[in-house]
Amino acid sequence: MVTGNKIVTSESVTEGHPDKVCDMISDAIVDACIAQDPMSRVGCDVLVKAKKDYYSESLVSHVKIGGEITSNADIPGFGFDEIIRNTIKDIGYDADWKGFNYKTCIIERMLTNQSPDISLGVTETCNREQGAGDQGMMYGYACKDTAQLMPLPIELAHDLTYALTFARKSNTIRGLGPDGKSQVSVEYENGRPLRLDAIVIAQQHHVDIDELFLKDAIRKHVIIPQCRNWIDEDTKIYVNATGRFVVGGPEGDSGVTGRKIIVDTYGGVGRHGGGAFSGKDPSKVDRSGAYMARYIAKNIVAADLANECEVQISYAIGVAEPTSVYVDCFGTNKVDEERISSAVMSVFDMRPKAIIENLGLRKPIYKITASGGHFGREPNGDFFSWEKLDKVNPLRRYLDLPTNW
C-alpha cells in the first residue's frame, strides 16, 4: 500500500504529432486490409519527414511505408497511396505552413509478404492450433483513480490533447496547427489523486498568431474546462514555454510508427512489454495480448477484488497457451492473490485465437485507437471491446462472492 505524497507525470500528443501521424496511417492500412479480408496479416511501419527545398523554399513532404502484408484484399499499390493521403488530410495537414501537406507528399512503398517462418506459427492447421505471432510479454493495468479505471495523469493528458484538437478543428482558437502535446503532473496523497501540480502544453501555431492571445485562449478553452476540478492556486501552468511553436509537424521532427507506446497505454504508470500496437493485425500478440491484459485487469478492479491491478501475459511464437500469467495487485487486493489468479485462469481464455474471437478483433476497428490512447475509452459497438466489464460477475462467482454488482 502506498503512503505519503508523490507526484506522477504523464503526457499525451495530438493526432498531428509526427509519430501519431505514422500510427494513424499504419492503422488505416490495417483497417483497409481487414475490411476486405478479416484474415489479413499486416505488419507495417511508416516514416514521415518534411523539409524546405534549398532552392525554391517550398516544402517537400515524404512518406515511407515498409512492412509485410499478406492479404486477399484488393488494394493496388496506388490504393495505399490514397489511404495515406486521406489520413493525412483528415488529420489536417493541408498547407505547407503546418509542416506537412497531403496534396504534395511523396510516397514510397516497400511492402512484401509475411515471412513464411512467422506464418508457420500463426496459421492454424488440422494438426496445430493458431499460436502467438511472436514471443514477448504484454501488460495490462487498471486502478480506481477514475471512472474509466485509468490513472488520472494519462486521462487528463488525453483530455487536454482532445480539447486542443477540437479547438483547432472547430476554429474555436484560430491559427492552430495539427501538432501538439500535453503533460500533467498529479500529486497523490496516500495512493489517491489530490491535485494537479503542473500542466504543460506545447501547441503549434501560425506565425502570425500573437503569443499572449494564444496562451490566454488555451487556458480558457482547453486547460480550465478539462482540469478545473484539480487545479489550485499552486498549480504551475506552462503554455509554449519557449514562446513560439511555429515549425511543427514532420517539418519540425520526423515521425515513426510505434514511438509513443507510453502515450498509447498508461502514461508510465505500470509496466510495458515494449511492443508497439499500431500497424499490426490481431494475430500479433503485441497488440491482442495487451488488449487482453487490460481486459483482465479492468474486470478485476471493477469486480472490487482490488483497487489496483497489473496483469502480465507472456507468449512463445507458434504456441497457443501463454507461457506465463501473473497478477499483481500491489497489496490492494481484497481477496488472496492466488485465488484471483485462479479465477483469471478459469474465466479468461488467453489463447490468441480465443482472444481474437472473444474480443471481435478481426474488424476494421484500429485507426480510431491510434490517437488518444488504446485504453480507458468507452466500448462502442465493435470498438474498444477490451474495455467491457462483462467478466465482473463470472470472476465474483468463481470466488463465491455476491454478484449483484
Strand partners, 51: 60
Distance between CA 360 and CA 289 in Å, rounded? Answer: 13
Residue 296 contacts residue 343 (beta carbons within 8 Å): no
Q: Are strands 192-205 and 236-239 parallel, antiparallel or unpaired?
A: parallel
The DSSP secondary structure of 81-102, one letter per residue, reads HHHHHHHHHHHT-EEGGGTEET
Domain co-membership, 330 together with 394: yes
330: amino acid identity, one letter: F
Domain co-membership, 352 together with 267: yes
Domain co-membership, 215 together with 288: no
In what helix (H) or strand (E) does residue 309 lie, and over which residues does it extend? strand 308-315
pTM for the structure as a whole: 0.94
Neighbouring C-beta atoms of residue 4, cutoff 10 Å: 8
Nearest one of 13, 26, 104, 8 to 66, comparing CA atoms: 26
Strand order in the sheet with 5-13: 5-13, 176-189, 192-205, 236-239
Domain co-membership, 300 together with 328: yes
φ/ψ (deg, to 5) at 195: -165, 170
Domain boundary residue among 223, 248, 273?
Answer: 248
- The CATH number of the domain holding residue 80 is 3.30.300.10
Nearest one of 92, 87, 86 to 16, comparing CA atoms: 92
Per-residue pLDDT of the chain (405 residues; tens, 9 = 90+): 566 899 999 999 999 999 999 999 999 999 999 999 999 999 999 999 999 987 878 999 999 999 999 999 988 766 899 999 999 999 999 999 999 999 999 999 998 887 665 655 566 655 667 778 788 999 999 999 999 999 999 999 999 999 999 999 999 999 999 999 999 999 999 999 999 999 999 999 999 999 999 999 999 999 999 999 999 999 999 999 998 999 999 999 999 999 999 999 999 998 999 999 999 999 999 999 999 999 999 999 999 999 999 999 999 998 999 999 999 999 999 999 999 999 999 999 999 999 999 999 999 999 999 999 999 999 999 999 999 999 999 999 999 999 865
Domain annotation covers residue 194: yes
Radius of gyration of the chain, Cα coordinates, nearest whole angstrom: 22
Interaxial angle between packed helices 337-347 and 285-302, expressed in degrees from 0 to 180 and rounded to the nearest 10? 120
Question: Grid coordinates in use for 371?
Answer: 490517437
Domain annotation covers residue 121: no
Range(s) of the domain holding residue 68: 18-114
Domain boundary residue among 248, 269, 304?
Answer: 248
Domain annotation covers residue 128: no
Strand partners, 316: none
φ/ψ (deg, to 5) at 257: -60, 135
Domain co-membership, 211 together with 266: no
Domain count, the chain: 3
Nearest one of 119, 89, 118 to 104, comparing CA atoms: 89
